[in-house]
Structure 1
Amino acid sequence: MNKQNMKNILKMMIFLCLVITLLHLSSRIVEPKQNTKESGIKYENARGFYGERQNSLDIIAIGNSDLYNAMNPLQLWHEQGIPSYVCAEPSQKIVEAYSLLKQTYLNQTPQLIILEVDELFTKSDVDDLDISISETLKEIFPVFDYHNRWKNIQKDDFIKEKVYNQKILTKGYKYYNNVQSYKGGKSYLKNKKKSSLTYTTQYYLNEFIKYAKNNGSQVLLMCCPTANTWTMDKHHTIQKIADQYQLQFLDFNMLLDDIDFDWTHDTRDGGNHLNDFGAQKVTHYLGNYLKLQYHFQDYRTHQDYQNWNQDYLEYHQKLKYYKGKNGFIGK
């Protein structure tokens, strides 16, 4: 190799080092210093676990909007004494779920990870790869995720360290009490939609399960009632995956009669998401199932968890105020 080539390689290495340094420094500046919407955090509802006492959550549930409309951790607490948190984001993909999973172990050691599986059925590997590359860059350099924060940068962003301790009263659940019926009954299960997983999804699902198990957590696959997207073919696909990994699979679309579910009353948007009436039924069944299958400890009288009893009371006090309003999210 001649001297000119050596010089060119050296220049390239120096340039790359400068770029990486700039990305690192700019990421540190724009990354939110608090896990609140006001600070710029994305989907603060899904990241309130940071504000919970360290290693206090027995269950972390991860998924898309189906999940945060169907699982109410405060109801689960009141009925079973199990501390849990719903880390759900709109239109979440498995690569994003995997990234969020890794974040939860920064301050929690859950016994069980619940993965809502409706998010596993994506369009194509091309779309999945694009999201995968984007999520990887955001994870390494948060500036790619929070670049728009340059518009609202404050002096404190240059000097403050991250302190993620903001609690979310509802523990990730989103309350809706409006009713918009779905009148097709169970006919949606016969629909024919894409029911295979892309290679990218399969890869990240495997990584998700492996990461959870390596950190001492069991994994439960779960599907909430959703008439707009779920089918019997999808059920069979997930059941095969559950069998492959020796996991439990709880599909509420197969349990509609068992939980006395009513599509004309228990959905807020014509069958896509549940309202609070539907969520109460799903959460009640889920609590009994978890208690039986996983033998969780009941912490309702434990001294270290009395704040959960207080949160439950405060939540219901606020519901009285918000009666007739939709989309209550308390802090």
Structure 2
Amino acid sequence: MVKKAFLKGCSFAITLLVIIMALNSIFIIKSNHREKLLQGIYGNTEDQLDVVLLGSSHMNSGISPNILWNQYGITSFNYATGGQPIDVTYYILKDVIKYHKNPIVVVDLYYLGLTDEYGAEGYVRNVLDNVKFSFNKLDAIINCTPRNQWLNYIFPIFKYHDRWKELTKNDFEFDPTNAYYEKGFDAGIVEYGKENTSDTLATGTVDLLPKPEEYLNKIIALSKKEGFKLIFTSTPHDYNSTATSDHWETEPAKMFNKVAEISKNNNIPFINYNKMTDELGFDFKTDMFNTGHLNISGSRKVSSSLGGFLKENYTITDHRTDTEFKKWESDYQRYLKAQQTLIDNEENKSK
């Protein structure tokens, strides 16, 4: 009798869990971040990636996989998401390398400057709501979110249950394949129109805060353990954009100088594009979307520069003539058409 009741209880619990997990998927907010992570990590696992790109929105709008493909025949995917703290980046990376073995990993380190213990909830949810449940995700929830939010991250239905009034057909039939041709990249076409007000060539260093330094070292240790090559970057931005923030490193130029020291000590390239604007032919007024993010023009310059660095320093096969990679070329052509549509729409607005 007791055994039968126990089995019934287990059956009920499993059924309830299955229902909750299905509801999680329906009620989670559908965003471009959900598209890119579901498809980029789990959906196209047969794609051979030479390079994976990680970080916050600075990387999201910084390096275009389609430019790397068109100019160098490099296959890559941009897993960056808006406001992605460095601890969350570490856990995304662990998921990515489960499915894509030994790529060159490029991490933008803008978010080392965050001084809060945890990233903003909305930014953290950009990732944790949109990756599959696993022990790695559970570990990320425990280490990257406050304890009082753990249950809502494990079961997002508790967070989003009020959305039942606004659910649409897309919530029930969400298709993450729609934007795969962009390979995770997203940048605007508007020109910022202002100069960089910060001193990008400042000397001296400051120590990293304990948690960002811990996760930077975790990423380095993971690369050594798993055997993948690692590159750190910082895309062009105005350091003064965070000057009045109570949540940010007050001397970011010196922080990146410290990163350069750490990278050198670990034989990891660190490419600080803020110190390469002349070499890139980079014009802050026309190549930035705003004070912190590149536009299409700027991303093309930085992407081209990174591709040249990769070709010069690593053995990477040019896949452009390989028929097995013909989908990459068709995706590039679709990407070009989408970019032209954006440009045309912007021009029409200004008329």
TM-score range, shorter chain: 0.7 to 0.9
Please tell me whether residue 180 in structure 1 is matched to residue 180 in structure 2: no
Q: Which residue of 2 aligns with 1:44?
A: 35
What do the CA deviations read for 1:268-325 (whole angstroms, capped 9, x no partner)? 11x2111111111101111100101112111111122110000011111222323244
Task: Please show how residues 8-23 of structure 1 align to structure 2 within 5 Å.
Answer: none
Residue 247 of structure 1 and its aligned partner are, at CA, apart by: 0.7
User: 1:298/1:93 Cα in 2 relative to 1: closer, same or farther (>3 Å)?
Assistant: same
Q: Which residue of 2 aligns with 1:11?
A: none
Aligned with 1:88: secondary structure?
A: coil
* Contact kept in structure 1, 2:24 and 2:155, CA below 8 Å: no
* Contact kept in structure 2, 1:27 and 1:142, CA below 8 Å: no
- Calculate the TM-score normalised by the size of structure 1: 0.76
Please tell me whether residue 263 in structure 1 is matched to residue 284 in structure 2: yes
Aligned with 2:278: secondary structure?
A: coil
* Contact kept in structure 1, 2:36 and 2:176, CA below 8 Å: no
Aligned with 2:77: secondary structure?
A: strand
Q: Which residue of 2 aligns with 1:5?
A: none
Relative to total residues, which structure has the larger helix share, 1 or 2?
2
Please tell me whether residue 68 in structure 1 is matched to residue 56 in structure 2: no
Aligned with 1:247: secondary structure?
A: coil
What do the CA deviations read for 1:200-224 (whole angstroms, capped 9, x no partner)? 2222222222223333311101110
Residue 195 of structure 1 and its aligned partner are, at CA, apart by: 4.4
Aligned with 2:74: secondary structure?
A: coil
Please tell me whether residue 119 in structure 1 is matched to residue 124 in structure 2: no
Aligned with 1:75: secondary structure?
A: helix
Q: Which residue of 2 aligns with 1:78?
A: 70
Q: Which amino acid aligns with 2:315?
A: H
Q: What do you get for the CA RMSD once the two structures are aligned?
A: 3.8
Aligned with 2:256: secondary structure?
A: helix
Within the candidate set 198, 203, 207, 2:218 is matched to 207
Q: Which residue of 2 aligns with 1:197?
A: 208
Please tell me whether residue 302 in structure 1 is matched to residue 316 in structure 2: no
How far, CA to CA, are the matches of 1:46 and 1:181 in structure 2?
32
Task: Please show how residues 239-258 of structure 1 align to structure 2 within 5 Å.
Answer: 239-258=260-279
Task: Please show how residues 287-326 of structure 1 align to structure 2 within 5 Å.
Answer: 287-325=307-345
Q: Which residue of 1 aligns with 2:292?
A: 272
How far, CA to CA, are the matches of 2:106 and 2:50 in structure 1?
11
Please tell me whether residue 282 in structure 1 is matched to residue 302 in structure 2: yes
* Contact kept in structure 2, 1:188 and 1:231, CA below 8 Å: no
Please tell me whether residue 28 in structure 1 is matched to residue 18 in structure 2: no
Identity %: 21
How far, CA to CA, are the matches of 2:231 and 2:102 in structure 1?
12
Q: Which amino acid aligns with 2:35?
A: E
Where does the alignment leave 5 or more consecutive residues of structure 2 unmatched? 1-9, 125-139, 168-172, 243-250, 347-351
* Contact kept in structure 1, 2:282 and 2:301, CA below 8 Å: yes
Q: Which residue of 1 aligns with 2:4?
A: none
What do the CA deviations read for 1:208-245 (whole angstroms, capped 9, x no partner)? 22223333311101110111358431221101110232
Aligned with 1:114: secondary structure?
A: strand
Q: Which amino acid aligns with 1:242?
A: S
